């Protein structure tokens, strides 16, 4: 059995894309992204089971959200400006269009909607939520911004027949 790497992701691991891809640039198709995501999810499902695969995608998304927030967003802004900046970044990077549907700042409970989601918009209907990575990503962003731990759950998903992905976010108990 090969040795387990002690590798831990850090933002600099993304590298200098303009140096490494001077002709192709920093974009690719959604199909290529989904090819990587869903083949990886398939392998993890086979090896560890669906529940563990979903947990691993959620945990990966959380790490990505934390690093994204630390490196791409200004956490010193008031919530409404922070969210506006997050919306702008997600749109600029073609990840999806974020809308805040409910905000309870006192209790730190939120409902977010993402349309044209990178992970699932246009998928066939399976009657399952599939955006485990997005759950983790949003939880990571909120956790860094608030210095509190969040639980984010997808309640509506394109893959369930909905035309948006809707997430509830609340403080972890």
Domains by residue range for the chain, with CATH? 24-171 (3.30.1380.20)
pLDDT tens figures, 47-59: 999 999 999 999 9
What's the pLDDT score for residue 2?
56
Average pLDDT over the chain, rounded to an integer: 95
The position carrying tokens 């802004």 is 77
What's the pLDDT score for residue 1?
47
pLDDT tens figures, 84-107: 999 999 999 999 999 999 999 999
Give pTM, 2 decimals.
Answer: 0.94
pLDDT tens figures, 8-34: 899 999 999 999 999 999 999 999 999
Beta strands in 11-78 (DSSP E): none
CA dist 103 → 4, 67, 123 (Å): 42, 24, 29
What's the pLDDT score for residue 104?
97
Non-local (6+) Cβ contacts of 165 within 8 A are 96, 113, 114, 115, 117, 119, 120, 121, 131, 134, 154, 156, 157, 158
Q: Are 75 and 69 in contact (CB under 8 A)?
A: yes
């Amino acid at each position: 059995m090969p040795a387990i790497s002690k590798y831990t992701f850090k933002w600099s691991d993304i590298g200098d894309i303009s140096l490494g891809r001077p002709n192709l640039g920093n974009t690719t198709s959604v199909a290529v992204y989904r090819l990587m995501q869903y083949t990886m999810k398939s392998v993890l499902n086979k090896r560890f089971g669906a529940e563990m695969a979903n947990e691993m995608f959620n945990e990966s998304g959380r790490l990505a959200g934390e690093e994204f927030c630390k490196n791409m967003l200004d956490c010193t802004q008031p919530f409404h400006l922070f969210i506006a900046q997050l919306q702008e970044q997600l749109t600029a990077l073609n990840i999806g269009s974020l809308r805040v549907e409910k905000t309870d700042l006192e209790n730190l409970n939120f409902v977010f909607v993402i349309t044209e989601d990178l992970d699932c918009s246009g998928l066939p209907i399976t009657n399952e939520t599939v955006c485990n990575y997005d759950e983790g990503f949003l939880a990571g962003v909120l956790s860094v911004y608030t210095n509190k731990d969040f639980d984010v759950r997808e309640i509506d998903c394109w893959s369930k027949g909905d035309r948006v992905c809707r997430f509830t976010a609340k403080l972890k108990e």
